[in-house]
Amino acid sequence: MKFIENGVCAAKGFRAAGIHVGVKTHADWKKDVALIVSETPCAAAGVFTRNVVKAAPIHVDIAHLENGVARAVIANSGNANACAPHGEEYAERMCAAAAGVIGCEPGDVLVSSTGVIGQTLNIEAIEGGVRKLYDALDASAEASDAAAHAIMTTDTAKKEAAVETVIGGKTVRIGGIAKGSGMIHPNMGTMLCFLTTDCAISSGMIRAALLETAEVSFNRISVDGDTSTNDSCIVLANGLAGNAEITAKGPDYDAFLEALQALCVRLAREMASDGEGAKHLITCTVSGAESVKSAETIAKSVISSTLMKAAIFGADANWGRALCAMGYSGEAFDPEKVDVSFASAAGEIAVCANGRGLEFDEDKAKRILTEHDVEIRITMGEGGAACTCWGCDITYDYIKINGDYRT
Amino acid sequence: MKFIENGVCAAKGFRAAGIHVGVKTHADWKKDVALIVSETPCAAAGVFTRNVVKAAPIHVDIAHLENGVARAVIANSGNANACAPHGEEYAERMCAAAAGVIGCEPGDVLVSSTGVIGQTLNIEAIEGGVRKLYDALDASAEASDAAAHAIMTTDTAKKEAAVETVIGGKTVRIGGIAKGSGMIHPNMGTMLCFLTTDCAISSGMIRAALLETAEVSFNRISVDGDTSTNDSCIVLANGLAGNAEITAKGPDYDAFLEALQALCVRLAREMASDGEGAKHLITCTVSGAESVKSAETIAKSVISSTLMKAAIFGADANWGRALCAMGYSGEAFDPEKVDVSFASAAGEIAVCANGRGLEFDEDKAKRILTEHDVEIRITMGEGGAACTCWGCDITYDYIKINGDYRT
């Protein structure tokens, strides 16, 4: 298994495009609609936000995915099409517009939106631009890049990756683009992720693999604790790699799962790292826990703590906030068995042993926490389970970005 | 029932003091130890943090409150005595030091600490200063003020209030001081609150009243979602008002409860309003809910949303974030029955009806949200229950304060 280039166009038979059609008006040079198309029908699956308030495209996608088949994804940024007039009608019209130029059924198109909640989507702009969007489709790295840019909102960098592995003697590729930034929380925060693969896999198994993968990647990141109305992760598998179709668990499924998880963990880390205004990627590894679930709950609580995030922003080794966040996570444990250290490329420093503060070199701690990627390592002494979650610091820029997002 | 002066010294037979002894070294002009003493033994009760990681004083207080009797509270700021060496030993020594000068049993003294986690408490400074602290005891407004200042950490204003009511023909007073600021969350965040009353009430009933009161006051505020290791609310009732002792629920209990709740809601609002770096007090009122619990969960989710808080900081009427926070609160409801408006002294503006955005005057919305006290009014159409919770916005100053708290 290795990482390769070409993002969402890495797998055979997929083309992508991203252009500006006019959904975004306040920054009219920015791309705002993406299209991803497979040359043949795909086994397809999606996981969506658990928020009770779901954006219109999610209702449409759930219906379109009932048969487990799809061929394309159309997505816009600049407007979430959530709590907005004509929501489902316009989401269906996006599918129909894409289907019209592709030459497939509207039910074979999936749709996503991200942006402001509660405002009417400029559907005419999308319908008016869909031919140009189709004409821009290409299988190149540039096409994947354009699609990745077209789904960005406050993201400062595109998120794009691809992996290659061998399944049943055939080269199989999985690629993806994603967007994240604000609102990313363990139950998926405004994130969109579109994955494409040429692996031959049944719709039941692609769905199983996607669920297993989301649990250990996107569900283990947090930016600000808010869970969005629009979070979606969609995968399309067209089978063009020519491997024997994966229809049950076994070595082939495991190989596919390993590659999918590696891809999604990378995209998830990129999302956390690019949290709105973030200056640090924070990795929290909890080991010695009673169960993976317990380790995960505790690690999420630590990376979600606003106080912990502010301390990392200040490169302040305030480990007490980690203990405090562990304590209100809802998990039971003995604080007097907890050890904490901070680590980064600049080294590692132990700051707490058996629940009590250690004397430590503040200058060294500052050097360690000044790195971009910092890790909070927690050992619990409760058992043998471990889990890693990812988050980011909170900065002046987060406040600035979110204090006036709509205008 | 009316609000009166003199804070924690308003009730008969209570004296207070606050001085600097040297626990705080980086700001040595600031008071850091408070003492509150009743001239006679009191029925006493406390509610404490639900955090699994509890500071040492909390373990000591739970033991000292087993008999339901206490006479004094000693509290320091500048060090939380949590996850620190010699924690319980030093907390007991604080009680013993206070008992020595008062002339009571150490078990009749309660203790609280607030400040940095994980550092050794300067117990010698407290022991060395306790005589001076005792000599400063007074029943004046100035004494209450001094005690209120001595428990402040990043608070920008003291929190102090008192109420007077009539129970069984006798004038009964309840007073209190509190500190809050960062980390205040529904399950009590680094808040300390010390309440004194001359009401005659049994230790069982004062405990019941305190629990009922905490639920509708301190448990309905949030600053940053973090729940501290040290949160404590303690009440002492010395009975000097001369009313017939309240030993069961009934009209006298109800009158006492009404006064206690009015006092604690005021202190809770002051805490929310003075959240670290806050520029706005945010009130969220949810009505038309299925149950009070449901309304409370939803209101708390809205005031705890970092994105909602950032929007209020920016005076941005981004109501979609309120709907989004409602949606991930864990409560079930129909988004299409939700109405939202923003209100303040500058008026009220409807922004969402039946889960859909309304056209509204952005300038008017901006004027409304520019006021210090703003309200988010949510109507759900699910039932007849309502609840109000309080929070604050998140600002650049919050990040600044918490990015480098320890130094």
Q: Give the 3-state DSSP-derived string for A160-208, with helices as H, strands as E and coil as C.
A: EEEEEEEECCEEEEEEEEEECCCCCCCCCCCCEEEEEECCCECHHHHHH
Comparing CB atoms, the residue among A85, A116, A187 nearest residue B320 is: A116
CB A346 within 8 A of CB A367: yes
To the nearest whole angstrom, how far is the Cα of A375 from the nearest Cα of chain B? Answer: 17
CA dist A97 and A94 (Å) reads 5
Cα dist. B142→A249, B37, B74, B145, B149 in Å?
74, 15, 18, 5, 10
Q: Is the Cβ pair B305, A226 closer than 8 Å?
A: yes
| Cβ contacts of A54 on chain B, cutoff 8 Å | 327
CA-based nearest residue to A8, from A206, A221, A235, A171: A235
A116 in helix, strand or coil? strand
pLDDT at A183 over 70: no
Last residue of a domain, one of B218, B246, B273: B273
| Cβ contacts of B318 on chain A, cutoff 8 Å | 116-117, 405-406
CA dist A80 and A100 (Å) reads 23
DSSP tag of A244: P
How much is the pLDDT for A188? 40
Q: Is the Cβ pair A406, B331 closer than 8 Å?
A: no
Please give the mean pLDDT across all residues of chain A: 92
CA-based nearest residue to B308, from B334, B333, B280, B269: B280
Cα dist. B133→A70, A102, A131, B97, B137 in Å?
75, 82, 80, 11, 7
Same domain, B292 and B206: no
| Cβ contacts of B321 on chain A, cutoff 8 Å | 117, 226
DSSP tag of B244: P
pTM: 0.81
A vs B: CB pairs below 8 A:
214
Residues A216-253: tens digit of each pLDDT: 998 888 765 566 788 899 999 999 999 999 999 999 99
**What is the chain A residue with the closest CA to B187?**
A328
A234 in helix, strand or coil? strand
Q: Is the Cβ pair B225, A305 closer than 8 Å?
A: yes
CB B395 within 8 A of CB B313: yes
| Active-site residue list of A | 190
Last residue of a domain, one of A246, A273, A300: A273
Q: Is the Cβ pair A327, B53 closer than 8 Å?
A: yes
CB A314 within 8 A of CB B403: yes
To the nearest whole angstrom, how far is the Cα of B224 from the nearest Cα of chain A? Answer: 6
DSSP tag of A245: P
Residues A9-22: tens digit of each pLDDT: 999 999 999 999 99
Name the amino acid, one letter, at A75: A
Comparing CB atoms, the residue among A83, A317, A399 nearest residue B323 is: A83
To the nearest whole angstrom, how far is the Cα of B206 from the nearest Cα of chain A? Answer: 27
Comparing CB atoms, the residue among A51, A327, A407 nearest residue B52 is: A327
| Cβ contacts of A117 on chain B, cutoff 8 Å | 318, 320-321, 323-324, 357
A104 in helix, strand or coil? coil
Same domain, A285 and A251: no
Same domain, A360 and A399: yes
To the nearest whole angstrom, how far is the Cα of A380 from the nearest Cα of chain B? Answer: 13
CA-based nearest residue to A74, from A12, A26, A18: A18
| Cβ contacts of A183 on chain B, cutoff 8 Å | 307, 324
CB A119 within 8 A of CB A106: no
Name, in order, each residue with C-beta under 8 angstroms of B363's C-beta and a sequence gap of 6 or more: none
Q: Is the backbone of residue A399 left (phi > 0), alpha (psi -120 to 50) or beta?
A: alpha
CB A94 within 8 A of CB A74: yes
Which residues partner with A237 through β-bridges? A43, A197
Same domain, A269 and A288: no
Using only the alpha carbons of chain A, give its radius of gyration. Answer: 21
Residue A365: give the domain boundaries.
Answer: 281-403
Which residues partner with B44 through β-bridges? B236
CB A402 within 8 A of CB A276: yes
CA dist A296 and A107 (Å) reads 37
Instruction: List the single best residue of B226, B228, B369, B392 to mutate versus A (max A Cβ within 10 A).
Output: B226
Same domain, A123 and A240: yes
Q: Is the Cβ pair A327, B80 closer than 8 Å?
A: no
Name the amino acid, one letter, at B150: A
How much is the pLDDT for B276? 74
Last residue of a domain, one of A219, A241, A273: A273
Question: What is the SS3 string spanning B198-225?
Answer: CCCECHHHHHHHHHHHHHHCHHHEECCC
To the nearest whole angstrom, how far is the Cα of B8 from the nearest Cα of chain A? Answer: 29
Same domain, A303 and A229: no
CA-based nearest residue to A161, from A1, A390, A391, A389: A1
Write down the residue that tokens 């891809």 correspond to: A263
Q: Is the Cβ pair B311, A407 closer than 8 Å?
A: no
**What is the chain B residue with the closest CA to A320?**
B117
Same domain, B266 and B290: no
Same domain, B226 and B247: yes
- What values do phi and psi take at B263, rounded to 5? -65, -45
| Cβ contacts of B326 on chain A, cutoff 8 Å | 52-53
Name, in order, each residue with C-beta under 8 angstroms of A201's C-beta and a sequence gap of 6 or more: A43, A209, A237, A239, A245, A246, A247, A253, A256
Write down the residue that tokens 């169960």 correspond to: A291
Instruction: Look up residue B295 and give its two tokens.
Output: 């309304």
Give the helix/strand (H/E) hosting B234: strand B232-237
Number of domains in chain A: 2
Same domain, B315 and B262: no
**What is the chain A residue with the closest CA to B359?**
A119
Same domain, A126 and A263: yes
Beta strand B385-392 with B221-222 is parallel
| Cβ contacts of A319 on chain B, cutoff 8 Å | 118
Which residues partner with B18 through β-bridges? B34
Query: Length of chain A, please?
Result: 407
CA dist B154 and B156 (Å) reads 6
Roughly how many angstroms between the first and final C-alpha of chain B, as a whole number?
A: 44
Calculate helix-pair angle for A87-102, A123-135, nearest 10 degrees. 20
| Cβ contacts of B83 on chain A, cutoff 8 Å | 320, 323, 335, 352, 355-357
**What is the chain B residue with the closest CA to A357?**
B118
The widest CA-to-CA distance across chain B, in whole angstroms, is 68
CA dist A268 and A285 (Å) reads 15
Name the amino acid, one letter, at B93: R
**What is the chain A residue with the closest CA to B362?**
A407
| Cβ contacts of A51 on chain B, cutoff 8 Å | 324, 327-328
Q: Is the backbone of residue A375 left (phi > 0), alpha (psi -120 to 50) or beta?
A: beta
CB B196 within 8 A of CB B11: yes
- What values do phi and psi take at A299, rounded to 5? -65, -40
**What is the chain A residue with the closest CA to B52?**
A327
* Residue B148 CB coordination number (10 Å): 26
Same domain, A191 and A291: no
Residues A43-90: tens digit of each pLDDT: 999 999 888 888 999 999 999 999 999 999 999 999 999 988 999 999
CA-based nearest residue to B77, from B191, B213, B240: B191
Same domain, A205 and A307: no
CA dist B221 and B215 (Å) reads 10
Comparing CB atoms, the residue among B80, B83, B323 nearest residue A53 is: B323
- Which CATH number do you get for residue A306? 3.10.20.340
Give alpha helix (H) positions in B242-395. 251-273, 292-304, 306-313, 320-327, 362-370
B62 in helix, strand or coil? helix
Beta strand A170-179 with A192-197 is antiparallel
Per run of 10 residues, the mean pLDDT along chain B (length 407 residues) is 97 98 79 97 94 92 97 95 93 98 98 90 97 98 97 88 97 95 51 96 97 92 72 96 97 98 94 83 96 95 89 91 90 95 96 93 95 96 95 82 64
- Which CATH number do you get for residue A182? 3.60.70.12
Name the amino acid, one letter, at A79: N
To the nearest whole angstrom, how far is the Cα of B40 from the nearest Cα of chain A? Answer: 37
Instruction: List the single best residue of A89, A219, A319, A402 to mutate versus B (max B Cβ within 10 A).
Output: A402
B151 in helix, strand or coil? coil
**What is the chain B residue with the closest CA to A182?**
B307
